[in-house]
């Protein structure tokens, strides 16, 4: 019988730190996000934009939606493992609807994000489970204003003005650093998001490979753009 590799115990166990202070399984969850298709969000003064790359692995299979509605005032995009995202999105919807029933008002965006991050964090410190290999971009409107919040597999969340996650994130972020402005309107943010997605996608930048959605601050409504509307916007780039 061959002896185990020196790092095998740290590599397999989620609850054991390596001598360097690393949790390898959590780091692998981050790698799952980095290998995912690009998702990005841009915050404007009057709303938030979400845009994602979507691809089908076969012409016989429809591509899965990667922008989801949580409540009338909250939407989410993700990069990473679709199955992991589905479970957490379902839980987010339950939290949102429960809050409405109990308190008679929409759930605050940051409160919802914190609850999802609490679940993620628990899955980094218990044996018999693994971390969620997915990162989210939550976009929402509440009494405190407009929100774009990123979560990571470790349970951390960050408030952002513009953010990209997934395989092409760095290229999109380079563009955002140069062109983002605090006074942008949603119409401008939509075009910036699409330009960021164009930078991130190596090929296939076309309406059928893009999902786009906005949340309007005035009426707090979540809107997913149609194929024709996306095509119209791409023609303006």
For the four alpha carbons of 117, 122, 123 and 129, in that order, the dihedral sign comes to negative
Distance of CA 4 to the CA centre of its chain: 37
Catalytic residues: 38
List CB contacts of 132: < 8 A, sequence separation 6 or more.
29, 80, 81, 84, 87, 88, 119, 120, 123, 153
Q: Where are the beta strands (DSSP E) in the chain?
A: 39-44, 47-53, 67-71, 74-80, 134-142, 145-151, 157-159, 162-165, 210-216, 221-224
């Amino acid at each position: 019988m061959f002896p185990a590799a020196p790092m095998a115990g740290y590599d397999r166990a989620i609850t054991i730190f390596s001598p360097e202070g690393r949790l390898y399984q959590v780091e692998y969850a981050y790698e799952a996000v980095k290998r995912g298709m690009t998702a990005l969000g841009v915050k404007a003064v009057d709303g938030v934009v979400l845009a994602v790359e979507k691809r089908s692995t076969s012409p016989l299979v429809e591509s899965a939606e990667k922008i989801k509605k949580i409540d009338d005032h909250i939407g989410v995009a993700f990069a990473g493992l679709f199955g992991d995202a589905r479970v957490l999105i379902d839980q987010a919807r339950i939290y949102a609807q429960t809050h409405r029933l109990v308190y008679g008002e929409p759930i605050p965006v940051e409160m919802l994000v914190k609850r999802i991050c609490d679940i993620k964090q628990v899955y980094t410190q218990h044996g018999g489970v693994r971390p969620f290999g997915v990162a989210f971009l939550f976009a929402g409107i509440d009494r405190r204003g407009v929100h774009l919040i990123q979560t990571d597999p470790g349970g951390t969340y960050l408030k952002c003005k513009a953010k990209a996650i997934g395989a092409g994130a760095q290229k999109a972020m380079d563009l955002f650093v140069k062109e983002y402005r605090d006074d942008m309107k949603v119409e401008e943010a939509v075009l910036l998001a699409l330009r960021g997605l164009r930078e991130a996608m190596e090929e296939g930048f076309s309406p059928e490979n893009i999902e786009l959605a906005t949340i309007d601050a005035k009426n707090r409504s979540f809107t997913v753009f149609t194929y024709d509307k996306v095509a119209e916007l791409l023609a303006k780039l």
